[in-house]
Chain A
Amino acid sequence: MGDKIGICFYDSGQGFSDYFNFKELYDYASGLPQVTKIWNTTELDLKSPEKINEQIKEVNPDKMILAGDFPGEIKNLFVSAMSLAGKKAENIELASFVEHAYLNGQSTEMAKVVLLCAIKGVDIRKVLVPDEVDVHPDTLVIGGGIAGIQASLEIANGGQKVFLLEKTGTIGGHMAMFDKTFPTLDCAACILTPKMVDVGQHSNIELITYAELKSISGVPGDYKVTIHKKARKVNLATCIGCGICSEKCPRVAPSEFDAGIAMRKAIYIPFPQAVPNKYLVDEANCTYFENGKCKVCVKLCPVPDCIDLDEKDTDVEITVGNIIVASGFKPFDAKRIERFGYGKFPNVLTSLEFERLINASGPTGGNITFRSQDKKGNWIFKDGSGTPSKIAVIHCIGSRDENYNKYCSKVCCMYSLKLAHLIKEKIPEADVFEYFIDMRAFGKGYEEFYERIKQENVHMIRGRTASIKEKDQKLELRSEDILNEKIIEQEVDMVVLAIGLEAAENSNELANMLGIPSSKEGWYNEVNYNSNPVNTSTGGISIAGLCQGPKDIPDTVAQASAAAARVLQSIIKGKIQKSIKDIKLTDVETSINQLMKK
């Protein structure tokens, strides 16, 4: 084939040159005998197709390969330029690195594969097929939120064994904290708790709570996983959940489940519907671990030897064939933006706190009250401390902001609208102000939901709040009304900050342990965003839910089921593909040659 092949490298400037070594790729391409000429878009004048044609016509390539992070961005220009030279659009091939080669650590090697396939005119999906090996039928699901629960149930209901690993004392995750779901206004707990009970009772699911992944070894299809079980100090098998221990425990700490707006004891059950519904001891806040005294809980426990405060952490090892990562997210820390006064003004609260406040199972029984101090000086919400009549919700806290997170957290607009509805439901005469930049009501029934909330007399203000000041125990919000070009200084009683979503704490550590790629923000990367959104480049490891990126509950559940389908597929087949990332350039060369011979 005597075709003249030209390559044009393109860096869109979105920071992907950190992952792809363009210099190395350039050198690699120039070493290939088929390549006639290589350009760099930085050297070319890209103003118009005519200009490009002038610059490339000397070589007059028969085939032009546009290689880069997002080469599609310049494709149209080159299609026109090539047509001026009498070439067809088919003569342009894209070597899209981000689409096919975005892996941590070895992206450049994979980009070479992409480049080679483009030069040879081979579909990369035909050569990037890993070998298959036998698969162990058991599965590990990391994270017991709605994604982990859904995936576990799908696999377990399919008749396969699942280990469900959860970091805290109960499964349920963030969804358990929510009051209602949008846009249907279903009770979140009513959807979630039956699933949680199912998980707890399922014969195929082994629930491992209060534990974390310690290490992992082995190969796809046969992973040896060591799990570090933190000492719960309460015997899961014998605890009857009577609650006497907690009742008499002298120490309190902010409740994680109530997002810190109420207190719990040092020996506690995270929430009444917890699975497993057993107590655990919070070492950090227990008197016994401070001075070796107390042991009130041990003395009062009606079951002999049930509470053992000297219990030590243990490690267990399991063998699994597949792993589903569903490790979730972390809410944005509103204290980072001082202008909104979170942590300084008691009645500025985060959406997660408000979610607990408005929840019928929350500390105030769903009554919206002011934050007040208890006897020990802790700021908490309790019933009977007044009712706010003006509440503002500010969108995009920590999201869509170059100073914090650039991305849109996707769910905040909708949950803020939901909160507005719930406020109106609880206090019909209350004024609710929604401060937004753009209203993102994507999805089935969402726009309708937005329209419905507008009908409920919620004040929609286009314009982000710049700052919050406290004035005579009221909060004054200063913002610009974009639609009317006026400054609004609005006094309200309470402000809810619609905080965005961030990758979970230690998400990078987990990614490194599992060898799966993640984005700069810490979200885990799938093989292909469009066509393979659950598998990762490491064989046998799938991702589901928020750990992949911001998404709402329906999407999370759908993705969890998809991940489970992939796992079941491999178990039924008895075989699993090895890691894509382990495919070497030489392997690809061989398989390309084989394909060419055919």
Chain B
Amino acid sequence: MRYRVNPDLKLDLNRFGVKEDWQDCFHCGNCTAVCSLTEENILFPRRIIRNVQLGFKNKLVTDVDPWLCYYCGECSETCPREANPGELMMSFRRWLTIKYDWTGIARLFYKSLPAFLIAMIVVAIGIIVIGITKDFKAEAMMEFGHKFEKYVIYAVACLILLPNLLRMFWFVILKNKLKVPVFAYISNSLSLFVNLFTQKNYLKCEGDTFRWVEHLLIVIGYLGLLVITVFFNWFNTDSETVKWIGYIVGALVFIFTFDFVLKRSSKKRESSKFSHPSDWMFVVWLFLLGLTAFITRILVDAGAIENNLWVYFIHLIVIAQWGLLIVPFGKWTHFLYRAFAIYFSNLKQAALMK
């Protein structure tokens, strides 16, 4: 395949948070060598910077490696040109997110904050309208909310997430014309699930264990909260066990996301120095989600939900915005893409080994 230098790519990339620092790169290879995740056939970030400099879009879109980076920031800290390779990788993941999204809505939201905010307002209005039709009765509202969550999950998973993952598969495996042995699909599927829920590759990043623990607790909290509210109807359950598990997972979510928000605000760590609106939306909404769920259940326990229905109402708005916008088109997808990237990367290795 022949490549052409494409200077337009940088204009496109500018909208995804990256500054043009990568133009300063003089290819010393420090970032690649300093990274504890680089391996045989998995080389970043310098190779990717080179492809960006030349604008090799086709090469970039089929590249799965950016997802393997957990942004410890060491490359940016030690870069002799201050070319910020870590942030380029982060911006690149945003760019890939919109490339995988078949609807094009992610592209709109990532590139235009106003468009995203309008969508958020529209969703909020929608929930208010539904509230009006239900006369703001607690029981009816909660029943609606429960059903709503369930259907949104199914719809988003089938209509958006699954097709997007297939697109990712198409880009990474099929477009690269990789002949993956069938056995590899099966043998690597276990590690897919392990990575999905533990992000254990994160631990290879030196000195980042605490960040991994925090991240893991958020994942556990989030998935726990999802299961407990959707499948065990946490807000209306009488089971003491379910109730207390719900409290714990809810607390995990808002406590640790609060710490993430603090880190992004203080900008002390290399990885939280630069925040794209999508990063802010993700952590802040996750925080609100955990917090409002927690308070709602407290009010239910105290028998005061009827008089304080606005708390649940906010929760419902947050859930709707989360489920309809942030999960399918926002940063949430990195949860899937990261794990599948490791899976696809393993498939790629298997194909290359053959």
A interface with B by C-beta (< 8 Å): 339, 396, 400-403, 437-438, 462-467, 478-482, 485-487
Contacts and interface: CB of A to CB of B under 8 A. Distances in A.
The winner among B34, B38, B79, B81 for most chain A CB atoms within 10 A is: B34
B27 interface: yes
B7 interface: no
Q: Is the contact region of chain B dominated by helix, strand, or loop, or is it mixed?
A: loop
29 contacts: A339-B34, A339-B78, A396-B28, A396-B80, A400-B26, A400-B80, A402-B79, A402-B80, A402-B81, A437-B26, A438-B26, A463-B28, A464-B29, A466-B30, A466-B31, A466-B78, A467-B33, A479-B29, A479-B33, A480-B32, A480-B33, A480-B38, A480-B43, A482-B27, A482-B28, A482-B46, A487-B32, A487-B39, A487-B40
Contacts of A339: 34, 78
Contacts of B47: 485
A224 to B, nearest CB: 46
B259 interface: no
Given A480-B46, A485-B43, A485-B47, A463 B80 contact: no
A565 B284 CA distance: 71
The winner among A437, A466, A467, A485 for most chain B CB atoms within 10 A is: A466
A467 to B, nearest CB: 6
A486 B31 CA distance: 13
A432 B146 CA distance: 69
B208 interface: no
A437 B28 contact: yes
B27 A465 contact: no
A401 B81 CA distance: 6
Interface string B66-95: 000000000000111110000000000000
Given A464-B33, A466-B31, A479-B33, 12 more contacts: A339-B34, A396-B28, A401-B80, A462-B29, A464-B30, A466-B30, A466-B33, A467-B34, A478-B33, A481-B29, A482-B46, A487-B38
A463 B78 contact: no
Contacts of B28: 396, 437, 463-464, 482
A436 to B, nearest CB: 9
Interface residues of B, number: 20
The winner among B27, B33, B34, B40 for most chain A CB atoms within 10 A is: B33
A459 B256 CA distance: 50
Nearest to A465: B33
A373 to B, nearest CB: 31
A480 B80 CA distance: 15
Contacts of B81: 402
A291 B102 CA distance: 84
A482 B29 contact: yes
Contacts of B34: 339, 466-467, 478
A465 B26 CA distance: 14
A155 B10 CA distance: 58
Contact of A403 (B29, B33, B78): B78
A339 B35 CA distance: 13
Nearest to A339: B78
Interface string B289-303: 000000000000000
A232 to B, nearest CB: 43
A427 B43 CA distance: 35
A492 to B, nearest CB: 15
In the A-B complex, the 4 residue pairs with the closest CB atoms: A480-B29, A466-B33, A463-B29, A401-B80
A478 B36 CA distance: 10
A399 to B, nearest CB: 9
The winner among B28, B47, B81 for most chain A CB atoms within 10 A is: B28
B327 to A, nearest CB: 36
Interface in B258-291: none
Contacts of A478: 33-34
A385 B32 CA distance: 36
Contacts of B32: 466, 480, 487
A462 B30 CA distance: 11
A485 B32 CA distance: 9
Contacts of A402: 79-82
Nearest to B26: A437
A486 B80 contact: no
A486 B29 contact: no
A485 B46 CA distance: 9
Interface string B44-69: 00110000000000000000000000
Contacts of A463: 28-29, 33
A487 B32 CA distance: 8
Contacts of A396: 28, 80
Nearest to B74: A466
A400 B79 CA distance: 11
Contacts of B78: 339, 403, 466
Contacts of B27: 437, 482
Contacts of A437: 26-28
A486 B40 contact: yes
The winner among B26, B32, B40 for most chain A CB atoms within 10 A is: B32
Nearest to A398: B80
A350 to B, nearest CB: 18
B69 to A, nearest CB: 15
A402 B47 CA distance: 21
A500 to B, nearest CB: 12
B36 to A, nearest CB: 10
A278 B276 CA distance: 68
Contact of A487 (B26, B33, B79, B80): B33
Contacts of A400: 26, 80
B82 A487 contact: no
Nearest to B34: A466
A478 B39 CA distance: 12
A465 B79 CA distance: 12
The winner among A339, A401, A462 for most chain B CB atoms within 10 A is: A401
A438 B27 CA distance: 9
Interface string B1-38: 00000000000000000000000001111111110001
B214 to A, nearest CB: 27
A406 to B, nearest CB: 9
B167 to A, nearest CB: 27
A437 B80 CA distance: 11
Contacts of B46: 480, 482
A398 to B, nearest CB: 10
Contacts of A482: 27-29, 46
Nearest to B33: A466
A396 B26 CA distance: 13
Contacts of A462: 29
Nearest to A404: B80
Contacts of A438: 26
A418 to B, nearest CB: 22
A392 to B, nearest CB: 13
A403 B26 CA distance: 15
Nearest to A438: B26
Nearest to B81: A402
B54 to A, nearest CB: 14
A403 B80 contact: yes
B43 A487 contact: yes
Nearest to B75: A466
Contacts of B30: 464, 466, 480
A170 to B, nearest CB: 37
Contacts of A464: 28-30, 33, 80
A364 B46 CA distance: 42
Nearest to B83: A402
Contacts of A401: 80
Contacts of B31: 466
B339 to A, nearest CB: 24
A480 B38 CA distance: 10
A245 B43 CA distance: 61
Contacts of B26: 400, 437-438
Contacts of B82: 402-403
A464 B46 CA distance: 12
B135 to A, nearest CB: 58
A465 B32 CA distance: 10
